[in-house]
Amino acid sequence: MNTHEISADDLALYAMRSLESDDVSRISGHLGSCISCRTELQRIRTDLAAVALTAPEVAPPPRVRERLFADIREEAIHQLGSSPKPAEAAYPRWWAATYTGALMLAVAAGLLWTENARLRFQLTALRQVVQQEQAQRQQEQTSLENASHVLAMLNSRSTMRVRMMAGAAKREPQAEAIYSREQGRLLLMASNLRPLPEHKVYQLWILPMQGAPISAGMLKPDAQGSATMMCPQAPAVEAKGFALTVEPEEGSPAPTSNPVLVGEVSS
């Protein structure tokens, strides 16, 4: 409701028909083009109806009943010679008291509904802020963990660095694979990669000393052809090299195309 010129209080009074004609015309015009306000008005009317249905019935006291019959007899006696009483005087006072009580309950219900709507809006906004902060903290934590892993790999004596190239030209695709079998981590930094066809990805393979190539993950380059991939749980095998192929978007259990890049561990 905060984004509209019509407040929740105005809608509550509109539902109870307690506004001046100018305000009624203004709100009616707004409701014609605002779906959310019409929805809120329907909720208010539902709440007011529920309050009216739950209001207890009040039985008139005996003296009110006697006075009502006395007024009826007096009206019959003076029917020919006296002027009729105003229509509202014929209603018993207990009915007016009941109507007033129900109206007060309806107004209170409208105010409570307005406060409840405001609190719901504030709670939703607070939850969104908390979720954004949690996501940001998770991203920062992941970045710190990756940086720590890379530093540990670079400082490890068992880490191997393998350059993967497609040719001697400067703008040819190239990459560097940093692999630590002891830590089970693999980092790939690639540049000048060709744009991928639709529904295709690059897939990195570890070439073990024995056996078939082992998948180490998939990646897509940015607009400049650069890509970085960190595999924190790489297979711990004795590798003789690495290869990069183009595969379907969901990845492949084994290479299905010729390597775009390949590099072998120097002996």
For residue range 100-151, what is the model confidence (pLDDT) as tens digits?
666 677 777 777 777 777 778 777 877 887 888 888 888 878 777 777 767 6
248-252: long-range contacts at Cβ-Cβ below 8 A with a sequence spacing of 24 or more? Answer: 248/199, 248/200, 248/201, 249/199, 249/200, 249/201, 251/201, 251/203, 251/215, 251/218, 252/203, 252/215
Considering only residues 200 and 231, tell me which one the structure prediction assigns the higher pLDDT.
Answer: 200
What torsion do the CA atoms of 151, 154, 158, 164 make, to the nearest 10 degrees? 130
CA gap 16, 22 in Å, rounded: 15
Per CATH, domain 160-264 is 2.60.40: yes
Looking at residue 28, what is its pLDDT?
A: 87
Span(s) in the chain for CATH 2.60.40? 160-264
pTM confidence score: 0.45
